[in-house]
Structures are given as structure tokens and as C-alpha cells.
């Protein structure tokens, strides 16, 4: 039985990756931060399964900025594969919290790589490492579409920290002969996406507006264009990278770009509503430096990994809208029930 250690396991990508690895027979260890609440809702289907939890699936407290704990956990878990997904990953928030973003994304990756290097040198075990890089590193794009050789031009503290982490991973690979692969993942979404990210913010609003629980949806730049794929598809690409004999870097994308405006239109179409009646612009959601367009060329991943996306943008939007419509319907039922119990004067 292979063992995998996953940082950021309680996030969107980490939860889908846990599903994939457990289905493939892995023993999965995840690192979560200790906080006042047990933020593991995306993992509850494993935690509530007595045949899995603490038998094949284990959670450990740790923080990417705490090198000592990270080093101890790697030795304790004795992994065959390490997936470094943990980060402060919200681009807009990175402008408000640049130091924290730099520490978790940049220094956190350095801590993981250094602990990984020493563990492999001391144990003699051949371990493989996946680094989550980001299309945001391309920023003010110098080439369309973007591929592995396209120069980076980061436009946010998050993107700068990701570029630093990416080059660290490449440096450790080339300097120490380590099996480290970087996935340059373009935007990927799902019903498990955090509700502060624009795609989920949109689909949540659609359901709430339809149920009368929300009146307006406030967004920033509607003309930004992104290459959106399904997170469940993208974690398969992560796993495939670590099954290769030689480590490398891969763009993971769909090759299709969609504007925020078109995403809104398609999402509101799910409930047969006109997005223009409900969407308003709020300048506070604009970034200080915008990324206008991202579109990836995944030819290398298709050729060398045999990977390509299965879910297209229309299927993705419908998947998210359907999930959030059902969620809003439950919210509405609870709202009505609460009003009956606690009538407002």
C-alpha cells in the first residue's frame, strides 16, 4: 500500500485528491491547521466512515510555516508521495495580506522542500513530490496561449509567491536530483470551491436570488477571462505526474477561455434569469493589478501523461449551479422554519 502525504487536504483540491488516492488503494495522510473550528467539511464522507478514518485516512495538525512540525510529520508518515497543495490561495486577499501569503505560499514551500530533501537523504527512500504551481504566475501574459515555456509576469503577491515556490521546486529538483514535478494549474472549480472565489460566489448567488434570499450580486471586473476546468479532473493530472519515471513541469488547462460576464450569464441561465438584472459592479472587488486573460496549452500533459479534461465549461457551470440551487433551497426551508419559530416584530 502506497502512502501519500497531502498539505491543504481540507481544501477543494486536497479533498478531491484524497478521494482519488483512497480509491486507488493509498494510505492517505493530510495536514490541517489547528483552529477554533474543525474545518473539514469537504472530508466528512471519509471522517464518518469507520472503515476508512484512522485506518486508511489520517489527519495531522501542522502548519506550513512551522518547519519543525513539518519535518516531524514527514518522518512520522513515511510517505511515498508528497503533494504540496497548502496555501493562502485567494488572489484578491493576497493584496490585503501579502506577508501572510508570502509566508504560507513561498516559505511554506521552502519548508516542505527542505524537509523532503533531508528526509530522502537520511532515509534512502525514493519519494516523489508534487508542487502546486499556478497560472497566475503568467499574470500580464507575454504569449497566448500560455505553455510551460511562457515567461512569468506575476501581478499579485500570491502570484509572486507562487513563482518563488515554483522556482524553488525546480532548483531543488536540479540541485539534488529529487523527483519533483510542478503542475501549473489554470483555474479549476467545483461545488467544493470556497464561496469567496468568484465562480462559487456567482453560483451561490444564483440559487439565493432565485429563492428570494439575496437581491443583488456584487462583482468586480466582468471582462476578465479565465481558463476554467473541473478540480476533479485536475487532481488526476497531479497523480499522473508522480507516476512518471522522470519529473517535469506541466500546464494543466482546458484550452478554452471564458469571461466572468459569460460565466454569470450561463449560471443565471440555469434558473432562467437575466444576469443583467441582478449583477452590479463594486470597485472594491477590483484588483490593484489585473490579469486580463489566461488560457492554457495542455499539449504536453496530453502527450506525456495521457491527460485531458473531461468536464467542459458548460458542464462545470451546470454542476455548480445545480449543487448551489439545492443548497439555496435548503437555506430557504431553514429560513422559513426559523421565521415561524422566531417571528420578527
Annotated catalytic residue within 89, 94, 133, 134: 134
**149, 218: one domain:** no
Residue 345 — very low, low, confident or very high, per pLDDT cuts 50/70/90? Answer: very low
Is 143 labeled as catalytic in the residue annotation? no
- Report how far apart the first and last C-alpha atoms of the chain are (Å, whole number): 61
**160, 111: one domain:** yes
**278, 140: one domain:** no
| Residue 231 pLDDT exceeds 90 | yes
Annotated catalytic residue within 16, 158, 172, 298: 158
What is the number of structural domains in the chain?
2
Q: Do residues 260 and 224 make contact, with C-beta atoms less than 8 angstroms apart?
A: yes
- CB-CB neighbours of 207 under 10 Å: 26
| Residue 75 pLDDT exceeds 50 | yes
Strand partners, 4: 28, 81
Is residue 300 assigned to a domain?
no
Q: Which SS3 state, helix, strand or coil, does residue 170 take?
A: helix
Q: How far is CA 261 from the centre of its chain?
A: 22
Instruction: Provide the mean pLDDT of the chain.
Output: 94
Is 130 labeled as catalytic in the residue annotation? no
Q: For residues 251-258, give the mean pLDDT.
A: 98
Q: How far is CA 307 from the centre of its chain?
A: 18
| Residue 48 pLDDT exceeds 50 | yes
What is the crossing angle of helices 108-123 and 67-77, to 10°?
Answer: 40
Residue 37 — very low, low, confident or very high, per pLDDT cuts 50/70/90? Answer: low
Annotated catalytic residue within 81, 103, 136, 189: 136
Is residue 236 assigned to a domain?
yes
Q: Which SS3 state, helix, strand or coil, does residue 131 take?
A: strand
Convert the pLDDT of each residue in 194-204 to its tens digit.
Answer: 999 999 999 99
Is residue 301 assigned to a domain?
no
Convert the pLDDT of each residue in 21-33 to its tens digit.
Answer: 999 999 999 999 8
Is residue 298 assigned to a domain?
no
Is 270 labeled as catalytic in the residue annotation? no
**135, 205: one domain:** no
**232, 281: one domain:** no
**262, 210: one domain:** yes
**127, 203: one domain:** no
| Residue 38 pLDDT exceeds 90 | no
**235, 326: one domain:** no
**43, 130: one domain:** yes
**248, 144: one domain:** yes
Q: How far is CA 166 from the centre of its chain?
A: 16
Give the angle 297-303-305 at the CA atoms, nearest 5°.
100
Give the angle 333-334-336 at the CA atoms, nearest 5°.
65
Amino acid at each position: 500500500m502506497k502512502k501519500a502525504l497531502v498539505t491543504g487536504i481540507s481544501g477543494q483540491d486536497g479533498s478531491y485528491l484524497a478521494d482519488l488516492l483512497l480509491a486507488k488503494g493509498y494510505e492517505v495522510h493530510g495536514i490541517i491547521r489547528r483552529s477554533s473550528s474543525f474545518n473539514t467539511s469537504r472530508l466528512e464522507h471519509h471522517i464518518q466512515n469507520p472503515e476508512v478514518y484512522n485506518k486508511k485516512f489520517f489527519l495531522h495538525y501542522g502548519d506550513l510555516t512551522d518547519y519543525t512540525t513539518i519535518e516531524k510529520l514527514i518522518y512520522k508518515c513515511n510517505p511515498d508521495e508528497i503533494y504540496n497543495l497548502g496555501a493562502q490561495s485567494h488572489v484578491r486577499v493576497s493584496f490585503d495580506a501579502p506577508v501572510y501569503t508570502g509566508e504560507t505560499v513561498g516559505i511554506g514551500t521552502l519548508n516542505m522542500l527542505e524537509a523532503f530533501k533531508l528526509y530522502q537523504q537520511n532515509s534512502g527512500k525514493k519519494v516523489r513530490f508534487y508542487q502546486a504551481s499556478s497560472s497566475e504566475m503568467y499574470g500580464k501574459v507575454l504569449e497566448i496561449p500560455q505553455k510551460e515555456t511562457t515567461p512569468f509576469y506575476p501581478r499579485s503577491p500570491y502570484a509572486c509567491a507562487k513563482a518563488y515556490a515554483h522556482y524553488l521546486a525546480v532548483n531543488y529538483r536540479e540541485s539534488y536530483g529529487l523527483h519533483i514535478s510542478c503542475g501549473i494549474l489554470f483555474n479549476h472549480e467545483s461545488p467544493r470551491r470556497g464561496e469567496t472565489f468568484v465562480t462559487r460566489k456567482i453560483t451561490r448567488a444564483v440559487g439565493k436570488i432565485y429563492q428570494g434570499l439575496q437581491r443583488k450580486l456584487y462583482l468586480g471586473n466582468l471582462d476578465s477571462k479565465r481558463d476554467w476546468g473541473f478540480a476533479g479532473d485536475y487532481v488526476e493530472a497531479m497523480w499522473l505526474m508522480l507516476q512518471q519515471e522522470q519529473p517535469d513541469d506541466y500546464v494543466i488547462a482546458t484550452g478554452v477561455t471564458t469571461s466572468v460576464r459569460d460565466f454569470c450569464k450561463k449560471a443565471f441561465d440555469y434558473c432562467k434569469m437575466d444576469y443583467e438584472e441582478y449583477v452590479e459592479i463594486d470597485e472594491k472587488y477590483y484588483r490593484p493589478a489585473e490579469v486580463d486573460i489566461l488560457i492554457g496549452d495542455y499539449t504536453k500533459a496530453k502527450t506525456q501523461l495521457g491527460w485531458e479534461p473531461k468536464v467542459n465549461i458548460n458542464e462545470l457551470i451546470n454542476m455548480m449551479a445545480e449543487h448551489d440551487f439545492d443548497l439555496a433551497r435548503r437555506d430557504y426551508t431553514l429560513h422559513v422554519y426559523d421565521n415561524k419559530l422566531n417571528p420578527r416584530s
